[in-house]
């Protein structure tokens, strides 16, 4: 008779995932998959980057039986980083938009390149490339827990930057939509604030 499953927190599960943010598991990133495992909504054998070692660790944490990786969600592969073939890149930047860790750098209509220290090998950039000029090169080593911690930090930083940029763009568009009356009212409020501060300073 199997022991009853344990009930770890989503954070405890997330700490055991590789943080590649590849979405092969069918969820929107590692944190979402961790939530599903912790709630019992998903099995523990869908993480291809984590492989057999990851399944073994998740089984120990959850009390669930250790099962082989479900082939429907990928297969265990050596850790490989993305590389952009420079001669074929048109600088469209679609790859950088798809990257969850901001591991691809380059200016509009200019050559883009992969920052190796930030690349998790998630492969999300490849289908985004209209020129099919992204390949993957084996790193010659395994993905480690330290790599996972660093990748999580990079993903959180990238997410925060994108939220900030979106807010800045929304503010810019709102300013463009302002009518002359709105602008006049804003100037009046600005002048009234200055006069109020001047009066307060004289008291």
CATH of the domain at 99: 3.30.70.20
Residue 5 has what pLDDT?
64
Region 49-62 average pLDDT: 97
Indicate whether 2 pLDDT > 50.
no
Whether residue 3 lies inside any domain: the answer is no
Please identify, among 45, 73, 101, the residue that sits at the C-terminal boundary of a domain.
73
Number of domains in the chain: 3
Domain range for 52 is 10-73
150 and 120 both lie in a single domain:
no
Indicate whether 3 pLDDT > 60.
no
> How far is 105 from 89, CA to CA, in rounded Å?
12
177 and 123 both lie in a single domain:
no
pLDDT in tens, 67-124: 999 999 999 999 999 999 999 999 999 999 999 999 999 987 889 999 999 999 999 9
Whether residue 2 lies inside any domain: the answer is no
Residue 26 has what pLDDT?
97
Please identify, among 57, 73, 89, the residue that sits at the C-terminal boundary of a domain.
73
Region 26-46 average pLDDT: 97
Residue 1 has what pLDDT?
41
165 and 184 both lie in a single domain:
yes
> What phi, psi does 68 have (nearest 5°)?
-65, 155
pLDDT in tens, 124-163: 999 999 999 999 999 999 999 999 999 999 999 999 998 8
Whether residue 55 lies inside any domain: the answer is yes
Indicate whether 200 pLDDT > 90.
no
């Amino acid at each position: 008779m199997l022991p009853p499953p344990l009930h770890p927190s989503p954070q405890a599960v997330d700490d055991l995932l590789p943080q590649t943010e590849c979405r092969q598991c069918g969820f929107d990133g590692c944190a979402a998959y961790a939530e599903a495992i912790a709630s019992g909504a998903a099995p523990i054998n869908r993480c291809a980057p984590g492989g057999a070692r990851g399944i073994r660790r998740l089984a120990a944490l959850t009390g669930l039986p250790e099962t082989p990786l479900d082939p429907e969600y990928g297969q265990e592969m050596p850790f490989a980083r993305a590389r952009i073939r420079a001669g074929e890149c048109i600088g469209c930047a679609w790859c950088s938009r798809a990257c969850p860790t901001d591991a691809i750098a380059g200016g509009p209509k200019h050559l883009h390149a992969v920052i190796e220290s930030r690349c998790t090998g998630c492969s999300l950039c490849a289908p985004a490339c209209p020129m099919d000029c992204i390949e993957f090169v084996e790193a010659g080593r395994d993905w480690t827990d330290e790599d996972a911690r660093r990748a999580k930090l990079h993903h959180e930083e990238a997410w925060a930057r994108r939220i900030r940029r979106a807010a800045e763009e929304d503010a810019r568009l709102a300013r463009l939509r302002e009518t002359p009356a709105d602008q006049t009212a804003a100037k009046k409020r600005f002048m009234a604030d200055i006069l109020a501060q001047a009066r307060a300073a004289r008291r």
